[in-house]
Amino acid sequence: IVAGVKKSNLRQLAQRLLAARGGRCRCIRCREAGLRRITEGEVRLEQQHHTACGAEEHFVSFTAPDDTLIGFLRLRLSAQARVRELHVYGPMLPIGSRKEGWQHRGFGERLLEVAERLAREAGYSRLEITSGIGARGYYRRLGYDLLGPYMVKRLLDS
């Protein structure tokens, strides 16, 4: 290798170093819900906020007491109010399916409700979502319409 990363297992090396120092990784991937046994009653809503590049960034998540991440939403408030990412962990299921896992249990909808409230409180009249084609039906069901590359919902005063 002439340039760039010479080791391909940087994540593993970083985790070893953290463990040796008595810490643990808190990145999204290490926290995601997988086969861990968590009950819905243990799950709590959390919000983090910071400013980056002149815009307000909100990270809204559902987590368990052990810091396991059930799902999250990233909202950026700049010239537009835009959900940049919404993810609920678990195996991908068809919309309406009811199997074990965290998807299709209302967590995504509740995360969007928080994003809509935050955008409305900040004075925005609409919320945009960066969405793949496969998720557009889900957003349509929640009142969003396709406008250019985004799913968009007009935020009504409440």
The per-residue pLDDT string of the chain (158 residues; one tens digit each, 9 = 90 and over) reads: 578 777 777 777 777 888 788 877 666 565 555 545 666 567 889 999 999 999 999 999 988 887 788 899 999 999 999 999 999 886 544 555 555 555 556 789 999 999 999 999 999 999 999 999 999 999 999 999 999 999 999 997 65
Q: Which CATH class is domain 34-154?
A: alpha beta
User: Rounded distance, CA 19 to CA 13, Å?
Assistant: 10
Quickly count helices (H) and strands (E) in the chain.
Answer: 4, 7
Full 3-state SS string of 117-136: HHHHHCCCCEEEEECCHHHH
Quick check: helix, strand or coil at residue 62?
Answer: strand
Backbone angles phi, psi at 103, to 5 degrees: -75, 150
